[in-house]
Structure formats: C-alpha cells, structure tokens
Amino acid sequence: MSEDILLTDLTDGVFSLTLNRPKANAFNDELIDATKAAFKQAKKDTDVRCVLLKAKGKLFSAGQELAAFSEGDVTFRKHLLRTYNPLILQMRRLEKPVLASVNGAVAGAALGIVLACDLRIASDKARFIVAFGGIGLAPDSAVSLMLPKLIGLGRAAEAAYLNQPISAEQALAWGLVNRLVSAEELEAAALEFANQLARGPVNAMGYTKRDFNKAIIPNLEEMLDYEAHIQEIVGRGPDHQEGLAAFLEKREPDYTKG
C-alpha cells in the first residue's frame, strides 16, 4: 500500500488524515483500506483526542472511483459490506470527535464519509453533491439516512433526484456544515477547531456521541445493510447501465430510452 495515498499526522492530540490521491481524491480499495486502518489506530491510540479529516487539492473527493465498476462483474452489495459500511460504522462508533474540513466539491460515497463525521467546517468554495443519481444509482454510505437528518427530507430529495449541488452558503444555512470560512482561512480555522475539540472533555464527548447515535441514528447499521441491498438491485438495472455508459463516454445520459 502506498504510504502517500493517505497522509497522517498526530500533533497535540489532533490526528490529521489527509486524502492525497490526485486529481479527484477518488476512493479505491487502497484508499478505503488506508482510511479504515487510520480510524482503527485512532480508536486504539490514547494520544488521539480528535480526528481531522481533510484533503489535498482543489476538491475534497469525487467519491468512489468508477473504473472497477465498468468491468460488469462487481457485486455492489459485497463491495459496500467490505468497504464503506464498516468505515461509516467505525467513524460513528469512535468515541472521539471527528471533524471534516471540506475544501471543495465532495460527492457520492465521500459525501457519506463527510456526513458521518461529528462536525464539518467548509470553505466558501465547497459544494456537496449526492451524485449517485448522476450515474443511475441510489444513495449508499449512509447518505440516505444522514442527509435528510441534517437538512430535511424535501431538500435531500431534491438534491438526490436532480443531482443538484448544495452550495457552501446553503450548507451553512441548512445545518449541513457547522462553520464556513474563506478558502484561504480553511486550513488554519479547521486546525484551530480540531485543537479546541482535542483540549476538551473527550471522554464525555464520547458518551455524548453514544447518546446522539442512540437518539438520532439508532438504525444506522440496519440502514447501511438496506442501502447495500437496494444498490445491488439498482446497480443491475437499466438506469445505471445508461448512467455509467454516459459517464464513460462523456455524454449526457438518456434515461427515457430504456
């Protein structure tokens, strides 16, 4: 595994994880495994008091790399059960604060990872894109659970059905992000936010997170499994066949011809 695909640093209790897979920081098996390993380390290491998840480059992440799915023999359910589902559960079960620093566009499964964080700070250039509908799929990675929880069902439905980006300003107004700063200020502001969390009562925060999980998303594991079931159905259907073909051919999909 490349040591550069996910950069890590532990300073003053803040465990920084930086996606570093140019150009789009798309997730493949290697990056997913590296991220899972980092969260496992964060759980075990008592020196880690806060996790700061961020990305290099002009965007946070385009989500899942689609190249593997063009082969036609990928089982969506098995893929999700091995990759994003356990990662999302790791993040929500980590009894330490997890802060996402979103520097640009974030889409698809990467949006699910950002939503699984406890807190989000974003630059004014950030955009939040559900993206699954753009290739004829249903949401996974807990997006179908977390996005309506944060912004409301109607707003989430519009973003998912029409594949419309949520702007940084909308994200702040709707409660999708906690803080919004300029792109130039983001790195310093995110680190200051993470340091503030790391200096706090992390043990109590962990129990608070347990409370929130129980109160707001007690069905997270069940929902992740159901998403994998639905994605297996949709992934074999005509909408995804057309959506993926259009993506690879760099054209607009025509979902009406099926």
Note the residue count of the chain: 258
Q: Which pLDDT score, from 0 to 100, does residue 72 have? A: 57
CA proximity to 12, closest of 52, 43, 44? 52
- Nearest CA to 199 among 8, 9, 14? 14
Number of domains in the chain: 1
- Residue 135 maps to which CATH number? 3.90.226.10
In the DSSP assignment, the letter for residue 67 is G
199: DSSP letter: T
For 31, the 3-state DSSP assignment is helix
CA distances from 131 to 60, 89, 155, 160, 164 (A): 14, 22, 15, 7, 8
Q: Does residue 134 fall inside a structural domain?
A: yes
For residue 23, say if its preceding peptide bond is cis, omega within 30 degrees of 0. yes
- Report the SS3 class of residue 54: strand
pLDDT in tens, 212-243: 999 999 999 999 999 999 999 999 999 999 99
**Residue 239 maps to a domain:** no
Q: Is residue 35 part of a domain?
A: yes
Q: Which amino acid is located at 24 in the chain? A: A
- φ and ψ of 61, to 5 deg: -170, 140
pLDDT reading at 257 higher than 90: no
Whether 114 is in a domain gets the answer yes
18, 6 Cβ separation under 8 angstroms: yes
For residue 65, tell me if it sits in a domain.
yes
Confidence check: pLDDT of 207 > 60 = yes
pLDDT bracket for residue 2 (50, 70, 90): very low
Q: Is 19 helix (H, G, I), strand (E, B) or coil?
A: strand
Query: 97 to each of 62, 75, 156, how far by Cα in Å?
Result: 24, 33, 25
Predicted structure pTM score? 0.96
| Residue the block writes with tokens 């129990």 | 207
Which residue stretches of 102-237 are H helix?
109-116, 143-151, 153-162, 168-174, 186-198, 202-216, 220-235
Given a cut of 60, whether residue 36 has pLDDT beyond it is yes
Whole domain around residue 13: which residue ranges?
6-186
Cα-based distances in Å from 150 to 26, 61, 207: 24, 20, 21
| pLDDT tens digits along 92-104 | 999 999 999 999 9
Please state which of the ranges 82-86, 193-197, 199-203, 246-250 shows the lowest mean pLDDT: 246-250
**Three-class SS state of 207:** helix
* Measured distance CA(230)–CA(224) in Å, rounded: 10
Is residue 84 in a domain? yes
Q: Is 175 a member of any domain?
A: yes
Asked if residue 226 is part of any domain, the answer here is: no
